[in-house]
Structure 1
Amino acid sequence: MTDGYYISQGEEENGPYTLEEMLNMPLNVDTMILSPQQDDWQRASDLPEFFEYFEARGIYFPTEDNLAGFGWRLIAYVVDSIILSYPISFFRPATFTEVYARATNGTATVDDLVIMLKFNMISFLIMAVYHTICEFSPMQGSLGKKFFKISVVDADGMKLSFGRALLRNLGKFVSGTALGIGYLAILWDSQKQAWHDKWARTYVIIKG
């Protein structure tokens, strides 16, 4: 235990500082700090007393209190589906209504199944591109998520890189096709992560 906060800068250790002095410094999430409550050096992003400091700068760390549950994420998904229904409709085959009717009553042909598969894949790709761009943008989430103050962040509460956002949204294909279990995992996962969140190491939070 120490008598104040110390900062590691290169090979130098500076301090001690009071918490008030620390909060007036230009810290980043990777700043190494020795806290008077801890025995080991830790990143600033791992010390709860600095959470509000980073939140004021638009960085929200995923915590037990701000993780978005299944219900909020489902509602945001419904809103996004409504938003995307119009652009997706441009790719709907003219015969889709008849094809869908045959598929539901068990009389679909191989050609019908191919048509439905192609349309479903196009729909998935449109949604994946939409969500990837939104999550990579300063919005940090889709229009549906932003309406409910929901954001997608990495473990440090930062905006996703394009690659991480793309990985997350392509991973939804597996989460959705495995009988939806990948999405339902949110209900019992301690971090409220779907499978695609696990793979991309992302978190969905509510900004209060």
Structure 2
Amino acid sequence: MESDEYEYSGFWVRAGATIIDTILLLLITTPIIVTVYGWSYFTDESYGIIAGPADFLISWVLPAIAVIAFWMLKQATPGKMAISSKIVDATTGNPASTAQLIGRYFAYFVSAIPLCLGIIWVAFDKRKQGWHDKLAGTVVIKKTKTGPEPVKFRNT
């Protein structure tokens, strides 16, 4: 992989990718949750953080498996694919290992807990790494020239 063909994916494009991924996950998990618990799942305060074993599987386990599987197979979630980005090992540029990807997923919680500072860190870091990237030894990159064809005019 030629390093001059790639650049680090910044905060705003990654935020856009996260929005895409969140919408897709909600489109998949919401109908399942409603089928199991009904619409009261969203309004009944007695459910607490986790409404039961099915909720845990649908809301926590299924997304974790889906995200890690996409990272392993495609080096990106659908949102990252939409912005032409991929997750690679920060040292070599090769695909991240399974251990790195699993660690990266759980490191998201570390990044999010203190007011999402670890995620916002992407905006200020030289290599655009969030804390989850730093902990896992990964970076998110994209090809440098991913925009549309440049404008060309005929000389008249």
Given the two structures, how large is their TM-score scaled by the length of structure 1? 0.58
- Residue 28 of structure 2: aligned partner: 87
List alignment gaps of at least 5 residues for structure 1. 1-53, 103-107
Name the count of aligned residue pairs: 142
Report whether the alignment pairs 1:143 with 2:78: yes
What's the Cα RMSD here? 2.8
Cα distance, 1:96 vs structure 2: 5.9
- Residue 101 of structure 1: aligned partner: 43
- Residue 72 of structure 1: aligned partner: 13
**Matches of 1:95 and 1:121, distance apart in 2:** 13
Q: For residues 88 and 149 of structure 1, do their structure 2 counterparts lie closer, same or farther at Cα, with a shift above 3 Å needed? A: same
Given the two structures, how large is their TM-score scaled by the length of structure 2? 0.75
The structure whose Rg is larger is: 1
**Matches of 1:165 and 1:147, distance apart in 2:** 19
Letter in 2 for 1:194: G
Q: For residues 156 and 199 of structure 1, do their structure 2 counterparts lie closer, same or farther at Cα, with a shift above 3 Å needed? A: same
List alignment gaps of at least 5 residues for structure 2. 145-156
**Matches of 1:121 and 1:193, distance apart in 2:** 29
Q: For residues 199 and 113 of structure 1, do their structure 2 counterparts lie closer, same or farther at Cα, with a shift above 3 Å needed? A: closer
Give deviations 1:74-128, integer Å, cap 9, x for gaps. Answer: 11111112222233125415546435335xxxxx34x444428984774233222
**Matches of 2:133 and 2:80, distance apart in 1:** 15
- Residue 153 of structure 1: aligned partner: 88
**Matches of 1:131 and 1:149, distance apart in 2:** 16
Q: For residues 157 and 120 of structure 1, do their structure 2 counterparts lie closer, same or farther at Cα, with a shift above 3 Å needed? A: same
- Residue 103 of structure 2: aligned partner: 167
Identity %: 25
Q: Which has the higher contact order (CA 8 A, sep 6+)?
A: 2
The one of 195, 198, 205 aligned to 2:134: 198
